[in-house]
Amino acid sequence: MASSEEQVLETSKPRWQPIGPVERRVLGVLIEKAKTTPDYYPMTIAGICSGCNQKSCRWPIMQLEPEDVEEALERLRELGAVGYVQGSGRALKFRHYAYEWFGVNKVELAVLAELLLRGPQTEGQLRAHVSRMEPIADLSQLRAVLASLKEKGLVVSLTPETRGHVVSHTLYLPKEMEKLRQEYASEPVEIAGRRERMVPGGEISRGHDEVSGEVADLPGEDTKTLRGISGGTAERLLEEIGQLRQEVAEIRAELARLASLLSENGTELADLRRRLEQLF
């Protein structure tokens, strides 16, 4: 029979496993909000749904319904990744058990949360993004964290560990992980590391190179404008630019939809007019 100490060690072993995209988003949101807005944590289903559907700091953009979130929470609860608590009102509130589920510390969990919410990123991007949850002094500290996560099987490199090194979490389902590896393997190293990948809210995730301290190549006048600006400021500007681009794209899509509706209504009105002329 196992000793009580062995039983404790057994129960504390990480229990994580690959999960689907909605479960990854839900878990990422719970981790993020626990760190960034603790006053609103644990969270209701409505709050989690709103966090999942944010247009900033998310990739891919999702449009989930409360029912989708509720189903994902139930699956995560069965896996031991989340649990619920009774709030002051009737609504149930949910919390994560990600520290135990993954077997990680607070900085490692922040790195995983950003990868869950934004997808694969370069080391420079990841350090800038994680800093809103937990401070990371420099790339050397981040690399030590990534090395620990790799040992635990939670993070993998998608490109060679050179400039523009891209990493990802390993919670993707097998077919998703295979597709992701193929996507990065099919690109030359310099393109995979420096390409402008559109991430949540349309922001350009590869805008600032944390290794060289220079702004990466950007189209048009963006490069000239951003050169010489500090990394944190450049990152914020790029996020704002990306969000504006996303909003413009959404407005254009809505205008196209309205134009289509007007065209359809115009056809219907013309047909109705012909019928009225025939009657009178």
119/175 same-domain check: yes
pLDDT at 233 over 60: no
The answer to whether 96 and 34 have CB atoms below 8 angstroms apart is yes
Structural domain boundaries enclosing 208: 196-280
Domain boundary among 195, 218, 242: 195
pLDDT digits (tens, 9 = 90+) for 99-110: 999 999 999 999
For residue 26, which of 113, 150, 144, 123 has the smallest C-alpha distance? Answer: 113
Residue 6 lies in a domain: no
Q: Are 164 and 100 in contact (CB under 8 A)?
A: no
Tell whether 53 and 80 lie within a shared domain: yes
Minimum mean pLDDT range among 2-11, 113-122, 241-250: 2-11
Domain annotation covers residue 1: no
Q: 85 and 111, same structural domain?
A: no
Give me the pLDDT at residue 206, please.
36
Q: What are phi and psi of 97, to 5 degrees?
A: -120, 40
CA 55 to chain centre: 10
Mean pLDDT of the chain: 78
Least confident of 56-70, 81-95, 225-239: 225-239
Q: Do 186 and 211 belong together in one domain?
A: no
- Give yes or no: residues 115 and 169 share one domain: yes
* 141 and 215 co-located in one domain: no
For the chain, the domain total comes to 3
Last residue of a domain, one of 195, 227, 257: 195
**How far apart are the C-alpha atoms of 60 and 71, rounded to whole Å?**
19
Same domain, 261 and 226: yes
Q: Which CATH number goes with the domain that contains 64? A: 1.10.10.10
Res 159: pLDDT: 94
> Is the pLDDT score of 246 beyond 80?
no
Residue 1 has pLDDT above 50, yes or no: no
The answer to whether 35 and 110 are in contact (CB under 8 A) is yes
What is the arithmetic mean of pLDDT over 247-274?
64
In a domain, residue 230? The reply is yes
| pLDDT for 72 beyond 50 | yes
Exposure string for 270-279, b = 16+ CB within 10 A, e = fewer: eeeeeeeeee
User: Is residue 93 over pLDDT 60?
Assistant: yes
What is the token pair recorded at 158?
A: 């998608």
Buried b / exposed e over 94-103, threshold 16 CB at 10 Å, is: bebbbebbbe
Distance CA 252, CA 262 (A): 15
Q: How confident is the model over 11-31, as pLDDT tens digits?
A: 457 899 999 999 999 999 999
Q: Does 53 have pLDDT greater than 60?
A: yes
**Selection from 83, 77, 102 nearest residue 43 by Cα:** 83
Question: CA angle 76-63-203, nearest 5°?
Answer: 105
More confident residue, 11 or 49: 49
Span 108-161, pLDDT tens digits: 999 999 999 999 999 999 999 999 999 999 999 999 999 999 999 999 999 999
Tokens at 200, concatenated: 């949540």
Cis bond leading into 60, ω under 30°?
A: yes
Last residue of a domain, one of 178, 195, 212: 195
201 contacts 157 by C-beta, under 8 angstroms: no
242 exposure class (CB count in 10 Å sphere: 0-12, 13-18, 19+): buried
